[in-house]
Structures are given as structure tokens and as C-alpha cells.
Amino acid sequence: MNARIFPGKLAGRVEHVIASKSQTHRALICAALADKPTMLHGRALSRDIEATLRCLRALGAEIASKEDGFFIEPIRALQREKLLDCGESGSTLRFLLPLTAALGADCSFTGQGNLASRPLSPLYEEMQAHGVILSPQGRFPLSCRGRLRPGDYRIAGNISSQFISGLLLALPLLPGDSRIIVEGPLASRPYVELTRDMLRRFGIRIEEEFHIPGGQRFLSPGTLTLEGDWSAAACWLAAGALSEKGVFCEGLCRESIQGDRAIVALLQAFGAQTQWRQDGVLVRRGDLHGIDIDAADIPDLVPVLSVVAALARGETRIRQIGRLRYKESDRVQGILRLLHALAAEASTQDDTLIIQGCGRLPGGLVDGCQDHRIVMAAAVAATAAEAPVTLLGAEAADKSDPGFWDQFAALGGHWEEADDGI
């Protein structure tokens, strides 16, 4: 679907921010391994979550979608030698690859988009060194045979925190103790902390930094309520920073360990007005100016922060962006194409994105790169443009938020489907 988005600032209230996608992936996996059923409260049915649901059901879990969440009957009889379709979800693949190896499920993995080309090293080599036979990486199907052995796993910290999260989910099931030795700085640490927190809720002990006792059992808490998704809310709050009336998002935890809650402090640093209330946070326009941002722990915020930067005064530098090249698309190039298409001045230098804010965007034609974060950022940019923005591949927003375009309209955004022959 292509969308033609008309100028007009968003304003109003987002009453129900979708449940955290990151928490939902982890909670579904833990619940599928637990000793008894679990009720998860919080709706986050996106294409990525559907991929995890599909794979867990294939392994033997019974999962019922409810109006307000999911009811999970854990795996009783493990289904082996299944083909697990991960869609385009990197989380699903990187979490379930070591987990199925810990279970000895002898599964194969497939997926769509550029998932096959996204990095698996050094997780791939460490699994091989610990007893797993893997088919060549870089193409599907990816075959995983044998059972993972306990021991020391050395993982570079600057490629993907999902490698560490996947091992944290898998290693407690092994008969002996294991350690994850992170080499170099750990990027996206908040995502690892989300994994540790979810494991604690299901009775799993992680000692010291990453020492994992073996022989553990996942213990269901019975019911669990998921937080609102700060990554999804970031787009609405960024749109609020461009709007005089502003946008209010409810259902967000101010003390959340989700790294993307940094969006509020960053928008405030740009000069936006922010106000916390008992039931959420309001962001509205202020005198926006350029700032310096360290993106090591908040890679998913970079696309929409780049849009805010383009509409601020002066220069913004967003550092440590290298890992964005290995997402659903090369997001560094996607951001540059987005900004350049709307006549904003942006460039890269080493590991830094440099944006010269001009305070105005004339409109234009933007390729969403089949990447949900680029699509959402482009939609926010269009609200502050001087002429319509035509966005190619607007349906990619469904990857993380199927209700994105309905919410966009509910906040006063005006858009229509555009012809494919643009």
C-alpha cells in the first residue's frame, strides 16, 4: 500500500498504547516453557509477534488469542523436526535458534525479507562450538541439529543484544552451568535487562552478570500484565513535539526498563514541552533546537529522532548508529533517503548521523524501504510538511503496530491510499 499523507499536525490522546513488543516476545517464550498455563494481559498482535506465536505453536504450545492478551498452555510434548517460519522477525529467529537447540528439537528455520542476511555471528559459531550442527548461514532454510551443551559462550557486545537474550532464554534449561562472556561494550543493554526481568518473573535465576545455573524450570506467575510499548509511543510523542496542542499517551510506565522511554528526555532536550501525569505523558511543541544523541541503547528511536532533528534549528549529531545498517533494512541509508527526499540536509561521518535542521520540509515522495520504523518516521515527518508526502510501502507499519494508520487518523492525521503507479 502506498499512502498520500496531507499536512496537518497531530493532536489528542492515545488511549491504549500497544503492549510492549519486546516484553511480549519474551513473555510468550517463557510461558511456553513454564510449568502451568499463563494469562498475559496486554494486546500486541503485530506481524513480529505472530511469527513468535506461529513458531511456539509449531513446537507444541497451545496459545489462544484473547481480547486483552494471550492464554498460553505450555509445551507438554515437544514437537521435533518442525520448520519454523520467523517471518521478518529477528527477535523470533535469534531467540528461538538457541532455545530449540537447548531443547534438542532438531528444527529448521525460514523467514522473509532480508532476515536470512541479518547477522547471526558470533552466536552461530558459539552454538557450533557447543555441540550444534547448523547449515550454512545466510540462506533459508537454516537447519539446527543436535543439543546445546553448557559452558562458556563468548559474544561480542556491539552486534546484537538479541544474541545474549536468546542464550539467556536457552541456557537455564541445560544440565550444567553456563556463562555468557560479553566481549567489548554491550550495546542495547536495556533489551538484555528486559530479558533478565522476564526470566525473574518466571522463576529463573541469573547470577552475577551472566552466570546461568543449569537445570532450572520456568515457573508461571499465573497472570502477567505487559507494559505499554515505548518504541511505538515514541512516534506519537515525536509528533506531539511538532504540534502546538501536543499528543498525550497513556498506559506508559515512567519507571520502565525499556530503553526507549528515553524519548521523553530527548524530546525535552530538543526543546519540546513535556508533562508527566498520573496516567501518562504529554508532549507538545517548544522552541526546537539541535542536540547531541548517543544511540547505543536506543537504535529504534533514531529514525523518528532524525525527523525531529530536521525540523529543529541547528545541527543534531546522532552517534553510534552502525548497528542500524543490519535491521529490517539498512536504516542508516533509509533515514538519509527519507530526509533527502524531503529536502533536509543530512550526512554520515564514521558512526555518526549529522542533520542540519531547517525547520521546514516541503513534501515529496518517500520510499518506506519496507521497514516499519522508516515508515512511521516518514508519517511523522509528513504531519509537519508544507505539501503532501507520498509514502511507498506504508503497510510495513503492520510489522510492529497493525493499528498505526487508524491511530494516525484518530489523532487528526489525513491520508489516503495512493495509486501503485506513482
Give catalytic residue positions: 300
Q: How far apart are CA 100 and CA 86, in angstroms?
A: 13
φ/ψ bin of 406: left (φ > 0), alpha (ψ from -120 to 50), beta (otherwise): alpha
Asked if 26 contacts 67 with a C-beta cutoff of 8 angstroms, the reply is: no
Take residue 7 and report the three cell numbers written for it. 499536512
Residue 7, SS3 per DSSP: coil
Q: State the first-to-last Cα distance of the chain, in angstroms, to the nearest integer.
A: 11
Q: How far apart are CA 232 and CA 21, in angstroms?
A: 9
Q: How far apart are CA 85 and CA 367, in angstroms?
A: 27
Nearest partner of 292 among 365, 354, 210, 338, judged by Cα: 354
- For 266-397, strand residue ranges (E) read 273-277, 280-284, 292-294, 313-319, 345-349, 352-358, 364-367, 389-392
Interacting residues of 365 by C-beta distance below 8 A, sequence separation 6+: 341, 389, 390, 392, 422
Q: At what angle do helices 302-310 and 372-383 cross, to 10 degrees?
A: 20
Strand partners, 63: 72
Question: What is the Cα 127 distance to its own chain's centre?
Answer: 24
Question: What is the Cα 67 distance to its own chain's centre?
Answer: 23
